Chains A and B, each alone.
Chain A
């Protein structure tokens, strides 16, 4: 049952994604990409969980995963902000 539940969440999220992303104008496609890139850094949540004390290899893989995902989040949100700051009106 739990599997069906998360599948439902997954599929509904895809539909929401299509709805909102098709509304993003082409002008902002690069920031959309770097911003969504930062969001895919949500893997950091998984990375944090996998540092759980106990599994030795797992913990070290978790550390590398935390580094990778943090690069993704911090870098992604910062560079998106830097770009969006440049979009000005007349």
Chain B
């Protein structure tokens, strides 16, 4: 037993070192390998040292799981990363809940069943099951199986409140006993499953980064709770790391949208904001052609590209990289400005651009890139809207007031590409489009960039 725990400590150290190496793209891949070795050590130590294990079942389970996991990992497209992480979160939470349930059935009515054990089992089953169903709903929304729009109905929050209350009551009665523990245990299981669904269906597509991060955190907390059930340091440490990671990312995403977590979970944005009329005043825009845009770019020394999710929707990552490479070969400095909520999950846009072979030195985040706009000649905004709306700096009546934005308007010229004049996700007009230094090029991002590339070549 002593050696097993030593192995778990080694595994935990390798996990920590692995995450530490994620602090730079140079060492990150190495770090991931180190963490996976840690996992291997933990698994081997467990299989070797526990007696009476059913090896046949373990091998069968691992083979099935490996095939499914590897298939997912190899076939998933980078645009689908959010839903894949969502579904993996679900499996992680589900595994924790199952382990805790197994422990409950095995120890039920025996001398080993202490109140501490029952309490941690209940907690693990609650969080794990909620993560499982919540993640599957998030997966369904992102994959398009369920409407990505917030699904709301009257009394929704009251129902969630009642569910939570019932869960607490049932959870407590599982722990203190009274003859109905087993039924109460099933009750916790079922209600947690329902709560996972009802908490996730009102979340709109653009709020998904927050929810995925939060579910990520939950899957860690569930693993840690299972660690308490089994008194296993390996699970506790790893679970705590993942829980902290998810929480930090949740916080970063909320800050990126200038909203509180409570507002994201209960706000159902995207429905109510359609009624906002405050910024209804029409902006007068100057529309131009790609040829003219090419001429503006030719005169520039420094160009900053601002990609939004619209760019990924148009599958224009490669097209933008080609234009950027061409501009660089013309001797211009090119950077990419990535807003924290530019994609559908934390860091998503960076992965999409890395896939299109954009070198990571060019990918700049909000804090680093904003000072760069001061001496920037041209900012090209592609499929981004709310994250470049200057109203967030001064218009207190705007729903995005206070949200950190990319200061594109400080560039000498701003070229904005959009499909149509439709307002962005928050349903508000963008005053940037009417600024004197802004020109609009309408059309699909991919087509626009392909023509722009030709026009630049022909100059």
Q: Is B185 an interface residue (CB 8 A)?
A: no
Q: Is B133 an interface residue (CB 8 A)?
A: no
Tell me if B28 and A33 are in contact (CB < 8 A).
no
Closest to B213 in A: A33
Residues in B neighbouring A28, C-beta threshold 8 A: 22, 25, 28, 347, 350
A9 vs B16: C-alpha distance when bound (angstroms): 14
Residues in B neighbouring A74, C-beta threshold 8 A: 65-66, 69-70, 73
A83 vs B229: C-alpha distance when bound (angstroms): 34
A72 vs B132: C-alpha distance when bound (angstroms): 12
Within 8 A of B (CB), among A13-69: 13-14, 16-18, 20-55, 57-59, 61-69
A39 vs B37: C-alpha distance when bound (angstroms): 11
Tell me if B92 and A37 are in contact (CB < 8 A).
yes
Q: Is B345 an interface residue (CB 8 A)?
A: yes
A58 vs B229: C-alpha distance when bound (angstroms): 14
Residues in A neighbouring B54, C-beta threshold 8 A: 51-53, 59, 62
Please give the number of chain B residues whose Cβ is less than 8 angstroms from any Cβ of chain A in the complex. 115
Tell me if A35 and B65 are in contact (CB < 8 A).
no
Closest to B60 in A: A63
Tell me if A78 and B106 are in contact (CB < 8 A).
no
Closest to B9 in A: A9
Bits for B227-254, please: 1 = Cβ < 8 Å to A, else 0: 1111111111111111111101100100
The stretch among B215-223, B271-279, B308-316 that forms the contact with chain A is B215-223
A59 vs B243: C-alpha distance when bound (angstroms): 28
Tell me if B99 and A76 are in contact (CB < 8 A).
no
Residues in A neighbouring B230, C-beta threshold 8 A: 46, 49
Residues in A neighbouring B361, C-beta threshold 8 A: 89-90
Given contacts A33-B249, A72-B88, contact A48 B50 (CB under 8 A): yes
Tell me if A43 and B351 are in contact (CB < 8 A).
no
Tell me if B25 and A33 are in contact (CB < 8 A).
no
Main secondary structure of the interface of B (DSSP, over half): helix
Tell me if A26 and B338 are in contact (CB < 8 A).
yes
Query: Which of B31, B57, B81 has its CB near the most chain A CB atoms (within 10 A)?
Result: B57
Given contacts A36-B241, A62-B99, contact A72 B346 (CB under 8 A): no
Q: Is B299 an interface residue (CB 8 A)?
A: no
Tell me if A9 and B92 are in contact (CB < 8 A).
no
Tell me if B240 and A13 are in contact (CB < 8 A).
yes
Tell me if B70 and A78 are in contact (CB < 8 A).
yes
Q: Which of A26, A40, A62, A66 is B238 in contact with, Cβ under 8 Å?
A: A40
Q: Is B451 an interface residue (CB 8 A)?
A: no
A-B Cβ contacts below 8 A, count: 372
Tell me if A68 and B57 are in contact (CB < 8 A).
no
Residues in B neighbouring A64, C-beta threshold 8 A: 61, 98
The stretch among B40-48, B196-204, B397-405, B435-443 that forms the contact with chain A is B40-48
Tell me if B74 and A78 are in contact (CB < 8 A).
yes
Within 8 A of A (CB), among B83-114: 84-85, 88-89, 91-92, 94-96, 98-103, 105-106
Tell me if B357 and A65 are in contact (CB < 8 A).
no
Q: How far is the CB of A85 from chain B (nearest CB, A)?
A: 6
Residues in A neighbouring B99, C-beta threshold 8 A: 43, 46-47, 49-50, 61-62, 65
Closest to A32 in B: B22
Residues in B neighbouring A36, C-beta threshold 8 A: 19, 216, 220, 241-242, 245-246
Closest to A43 in B: B95
A50 vs B166: C-alpha distance when bound (angstroms): 29
Tell me if B220 and A40 are in contact (CB < 8 A).
yes
Given contacts A50-B103, A72-B69, A84-B32, contact A32 B19 (CB under 8 A): yes
A44 vs B64: C-alpha distance when bound (angstroms): 13
Tell me if A42 and B238 are in contact (CB < 8 A).
yes
Tell me if A73 and B39 are in contact (CB < 8 A).
yes
Q: How far is the CB of B254 from chain A (nearest CB, A)?
A: 14
Tell me if B224 and A17 are in contact (CB < 8 A).
no
A32 vs B54: C-alpha distance when bound (angstroms): 34
Residues in A neighbouring B91, C-beta threshold 8 A: 41, 68-69, 71-72
Tell me if B233 and A9 are in contact (CB < 8 A).
yes
Residues in A neighbouring B420, C-beta threshold 8 A: none
Q: Is B360 an interface residue (CB 8 A)?
A: yes
Q: Which of B16, B32, B65, B81 is A16 in contact with, Cβ under 8 Å?
A: B16
Q: List 30 A-B contacts (CB under 8 A).
A: A6-B236, A10-B236, A10-B237, A14-B243, A17-B245, A21-B241, A24-B23, A26-B365, A27-B350, A29-B249, A29-B347, A39-B18, A39-B241, A40-B238, A40-B239, A40-B242, A43-B95, A48-B47, A49-B46, A49-B50, A50-B102, A55-B106, A61-B105, A62-B99, A64-B98, A68-B98, A82-B74, A83-B78, A87-B354, A89-B361
* Closest A-B pairs by Cβ, 3 of them: A70-B65, A29-B347, A17-B244
A interface, CB within 8 angstroms of B: 2-3, 6, 9-11, 13-14, 16-18, 20-55, 57-59, 61-90
Given A39-B19, A68-B91, 11 further pairs, Cβ under 8 A: A20-B20, A25-B365, A35-B19, A38-B88, A46-B232, A59-B102, A63-B61, A83-B78, A86-B355, A87-B360, A89-B26
